[in-house]
Amino acid sequence: MLITNAKVCDINGERDVDVRIEEGVIVEIGRGLQESGEIVDVKGAYLLPSLIDTNVRLLDASLNAKNIQSVAEEARAGGVGHIVLNADTTPAIDNEVVLEFAQHSLKTPSGVKIDLMLNTLKEDMTLSNIAILLKKGVVAPYMSTIAKNNIAIKIAEYVQMYGVTLFCKAEDNSLINSGVMLDGDVSSKLGLAGIPELSEVLHVSRMIEIARYFNIKILFKSIASPRSIALISKAKEEGVLVSCEVSLHHLIHCDSACEGFNTVAKLDPPLASGEDMLLLQEALKNGAIDILTMLHQPNSPVNKEVAFYDASYGCSSIKEALPLYYSKLVESGLITMQTLLELTVKNPAKSIGMEAGEIKVGAKANLLLFDASAKSVVNDSSSLYNTQELSGLVTML
């Protein structure tokens, strides 16, 4: 296949070149390549690496083959060619039996690569068999900081031993259990119990010191507080191997989205205040955020169309991933397309021990076409972006 008249963009920038692909591998890149075989004239559309999202949940967090296939199809529609399923499923991926069941369920063809993380904590807060699960193919261990210090230290020792990145959700069990959204003016107005920002910040600080002591890599998942990002940035400067992930939702929406008891805006972590949302955008522009996620947490209507307090956390989002990123971040001028690909391809790949994001000869053609001039309207009542017009149409190769 020869792709002509493409605007090729990767982590190295943009260039107008043709790309030849044979048997799923890029074999030639240049201008005016000799035409032979199948020729696809993309008429100035972007040719991009397919996106990677390392924080994807299944419908109602239910681990089964149907839900895995469904999320793969939605990811493909949004330009996400590689996902890592979160480990806090039902049943949780914390033992060999569940892992083997999950791995068997991944075999349905979808065109999307699916990897698994392991839940380092069992329901009774004891350790899962981290060593065996890592050897059997999970790409990263996941830990919530509800773990006590002695357990967190044992997890850190395993991470150090196997040289993987610890995916860490910073939260305080005693604080998250008493609230349903950010503690602030909006929660007070709605009469809803709030979760203090300190729930995250305290445990980011704690885990930074564990990363420093054991010299391990920690990726803080779905960070919502600018103060957390400031702590992580300072630790990076000091040589600590920490990084942070932020969702598009927390960059674009704030806690006011919960007004009217809008359960679609009930997210985990909760949306920040309007002031902090702007600070998160500044952190994005300044390069303090390492990875972006769509934080796909879909729920059935029966779990969302209820009272705010009883509603499940999360919203649907991955089906429009690239058009959303492009419309909200690139077209708006917050970041460039090149930076977007660093945050959604190169850095997520690095966190699971892979290399991706560069379109070059010899690389696998994990690519997509993106027509930025096309328009579409989101038609999904479970999305924070329902009825909004977006720029861009995805075609996976």
Reported as a single tens digit per residue, the pLDDT across 242-256 is 999 999 999 999 999
**What is the average pLDDT value for the chain, to the nearest integer?**
96
Q: How many CB atoms lie within 10 A of CB 222?
A: 23
* CB-based contact 329:113 (threshold 8 Å): no
Rounded-to-integer distance, Cα 137 and Cα 274, Å: 41
Q: How confident is the model at residue 35 (pLDDT cuts 50, 70, 90)?
A: confident
Torsion of the alpha carbons at 74, 76, 82 and 83, rounded to the nearest 10: 0
At 109 the pLDDT is 65
Rounded-to-integer distance, Cα 263 and Cα 109, Å: 34
Q: How confident is the model at residue 177 (pLDDT cuts 50, 70, 90)?
A: confident
What burial class does residue 180 get, using C-beta atoms within 10 Å of its C-beta: 0-12 exposed, 13-18 middle, 19+ buried? buried
Q: How confident is the model at residue 37 (pLDDT cuts 50, 70, 90)?
A: confident
Joined tokens for residue 367: 């690519």
pLDDT greater than 90 at residue 146: yes
pLDDT greater than 70 at residue 340: yes
CA atoms within 13 A on the CB side of 131: 4
Rounded-to-integer distance, Cα 204 and Cα 145, Å: 9
Q: What would the mean pLDDT of 356-375 be, rounded to a whole number? A: 96
Rounded-to-integer distance, Cα 106 and Cα 64, Å: 10
Using DSSP's 3-state secondary structure scheme, residue 90 falls into strand
pTM to 2 decimals? 0.97
Q: How confident is the model at residue 24 (pLDDT cuts 50, 70, 90)?
A: very high
pLDDT greater than 90 at residue 174: no
What burial class does residue 123 get, using C-beta atoms within 10 Å of its C-beta: 0-12 exposed, 13-18 middle, 19+ buried? exposed
**Topology of the domain comprising 50-356+379-388:** TIM Barrel (3.20.20)
At 396 the pLDDT is 84
Rounded-to-integer distance, Cα 21 and Cα 82, Å: 20
Report the DSSP pairing between strands 217-220 and 165-169: parallel
Q: Could you report the per-residue pLDDT of 72-128, keeping only the tens digit for each?
A: 999 999 999 999 999 989 999 999 999 999 999 887 667 899 999 999 999 999 999
The larger pLDDT score, comparing residue 6 to residue 396, is at 6
At 110 the pLDDT is 76
Q: How far is CA 10 from the centre of its chain?
A: 19
Residue tagged 């500044």 (tokens) = 282
Task: Give first-to-last CA distance, the chain, whole Å.
Answer: 10
- Closest of 244, 237, 334 to residue 284, by C-alpha: 334
Q: Could you report the per-residue pLDDT of 267-293, keeping only the tens digit for each?
A: 999 999 999 999 999 999 999 999 999
Q: How confident is the model at residue 163 (pLDDT cuts 50, 70, 90)?
A: very high
At 267 the pLDDT is 97
What letter does residue 359 receive in the DSSP assignment?
A: -
Q: Where are the domains of the chain?
A: 50-356+379-388
Rounded-to-integer distance, Cα 364 and Cα 349, Å: 14
Helix (H) or strand (E) holding 174, with range, is: helix 173-176
Joined tokens for residue 387: 């009825």
- Give Cβ neighbours of residue 3 (< 8 Å, ≥ 6 apart): 18, 19, 20, 21, 40, 42, 47, 369
